[in-house]
Amino acid sequence: MPGVEIDRSALWKKARQDKYGNIPDPNMAEKAKLIDELQKQVSEGSLSVSGSNDVLTLALGPEHPGRVRGVGAGISPRQYFNLPRQQRKYGDLENQDEEKKEEKKDEEKKEEKKDEEKKEEKKDEEKKEKKEDEEKHDEKGIEVVDYSKVEVPSSLQSLCRYVETTLKPQEKIMTFTIEKEVFGADCSTFVLPEDIMQLAGMEEIGATMLAVYTRCLYDRLKEANMCNMVGFIDPAQVSANAGSLTDRSRIVASRLQKTDGEQIFMMPYNPGRHWVLLIVRAKRETAYFLDPLPGNPVVDEEGKNIVNSALKIYNSHIGRPGLKAPIWKTLPGTPKQPSSVKCGYYVMRFMRDIIMDPFLEFENKLNNH
């Protein structure tokens, strides 16, 4: 209507209301509430607005280049803000879909930024927790050992001395980069002084040390030109509490899909405070269960389900119907651990012994014992 100023903040709200006068989108509803509060302050004289710094800008933030919110499509900032109020132009007020889409994109970007910030906060929190764990460990105190008198390899003795003389006094950790070829994706892992001390003392070890050892085994594979024969699966991504069974199955399947199926894949797996080794031979739909605990080995059901699901995904990927159920084998000649905390070391030994044989005849060897 000529001579009557149209409040663009009112138009903005109107365009987002349903037929009952409500704004369904909760984010937009919050903005509309803020607009009402600002309008009230303007009418009471406690807030002053002018030009582009009006109520809608205060509520939603600065305008994006080339468009003006709340006045319809096709209106530029110059056409609106640089003219007297009576001469201001308005676009198609009945159709503000493009503007809504832009706002939705803006909201999505904000949410993505919040997610990134949360991830960074989580990383900072994890680093803080690690540091606190180190401090607690230091408070307990570790006796300084003369490693020259300990029966461990000289390289490990040197590493332990480095821990005592450098890492611990300077509160440092060791960072290892594991290349994409090892586990299918580039990753970094952090080794604490405690991890090294536990390894030197043959104490219980976690996924970190198994991953680092696997990285060393990969170098052996390259030297022997066996990378096309053996692959590895990251124990930290597939063991208990690493995610849902579906997610872990997909991780295994993604490793199988990147090969021609001839490779065997070694998967250190921890169902809960115990390490076992699963070996998957995708082309034959066969899996091996190597458990260092004495007695008759019983295949862990969750680990079995992860591998079975992964093989189904693999079969679908290569377009074959597959067996009704994959073949699972336990090998009677699997070496047994002498104590309750040696399982991780035995799993490392299993992997080493297997790749030291260029013919990969581990099944025959461990079946004939």
> Which distant-in-sequence residues (6+ apart) come within 8 Å of 84 by Cβ?
none
* Residue 191 DSSP SS3: strand
SS3 letters across 267-297: EEECCCCCCEEEEEEHHHCEEEEECCCCCCC
User: How many Cα atoms occupy the beta-carbon half-sphere of 134 within 13 Å?
Assistant: 20
Q: Which residues of 104-141 are buried (b: 16+ CB within 10 A; e: fewer)?
A: eeeeeeeeeeeeeeeeeeeeeeeeeeeeeebeeeeeee
CATH number reported for the structural domain that contains residue 298 in this entry: 3.40.395.10
The verdict on residue 35 lying in a domain is: yes
Are residues 90 and 234 located together in one domain of the fold? Answer: no
Q: Which of 108, 125, 144 is the last residue of a domain?
A: 108
Looking at residue 27, what is its pLDDT? 83
Tally of structural domains, the chain: 2
Looking at residue 134, what is its pLDDT? 53
Are residues 102 and 208 located together in one domain of the fold? Answer: no
Looking at residue 147, what is its pLDDT? 44
Are residues 209 and 90 located together in one domain of the fold? Answer: no
CB 292 within 8 Å of CB 330 = no
CB 343 within 8 Å of CB 293 = yes
Q: Which of 51, 86, 108 is the last residue of a domain?
A: 108
The verdict on residue 103 lying in a domain is: yes
Are residues 209 and 352 located together in one domain of the fold? Answer: yes
Are residues 78 and 217 located together in one domain of the fold? Answer: no
CB 234 within 8 Å of CB 187 = yes
* Residue 340 DSSP SS3: coil
Looking at residue 143, what is its pLDDT? 44
Quickly list H helices, 207-334: 207-223, 235-238, 245-257, 301-318
Looking at residue 115, what is its pLDDT? 79
**CA distance linking residue 282 with residue 233, whole number of Å:** 13
Tokens of 259: 């090969």
Are residues 101 and 224 located together in one domain of the fold? Answer: no
Domain span at 92: 8-108
**CA distance linking residue 37 with residue 34, whole number of Å:** 5
In order along its 369 residues, the chain shows pLDDT tens digits of 444 455 777 777 777 777 777 888 888 888 888 888 888 888 888 877 776 677 777 777 776 665 666 665 555 555 555 555 555 555 554 445 555 666 666 677 777 787 788 878 877 776 676 666 555 544 444 344 454 455 667 777 888 888 888 888 888 888 888 999 999 998 888 888 888 888 888 889 999 999 999 999 999 999 999 999 999 999 999 999 888 999 999 999 999 998 776 899 999 999 998 999 999 999 999 999 999 999 878 889 999 999 999 999 999 999 999 899 999 999 989 999 988 889 999 999 999 999 999 999 999 999 875
Please count the residues of the chain.
369
Looking at residue 314, what is its pLDDT? 94
The verdict on residue 181 lying in a domain is: no
**CA distance linking residue 182 with residue 217, whole number of Å:** 9
First to last CA, the chain: 96
Q: Which of 89, 108, 127 is the last residue of a domain?
A: 108
pTM higher than the cut 0.75: no
The verdict on residue 1 lying in a domain is: no
The verdict on residue 159 lying in a domain is: no
Strands (DSSP E) found in the chain = 174-178, 187-191, 230-232, 264-269, 276-281, 286-290, 327-330
**CA distance linking residue 63 with residue 31, whole number of Å:** 15
Looking at residue 87, what is its pLDDT? 52
Long-range contacts at 333-338 (CB < 8 A, ≥ 24 apart): 333/365, 333/366, 333/367, 333/368, 333/369, 334/290, 334/291, 334/292, 334/297, 334/366, 335/292, 336/292, 336/293, 336/294, 337/292, 337/293, 337/294
Q: With 0-12 CB in 10 A as exposed, 13-18 as middle and 19+ as buried, what is 236?
A: middle
Strands (DSSP E) found in 7-91 = none
* Residue 75 DSSP SS3: coil
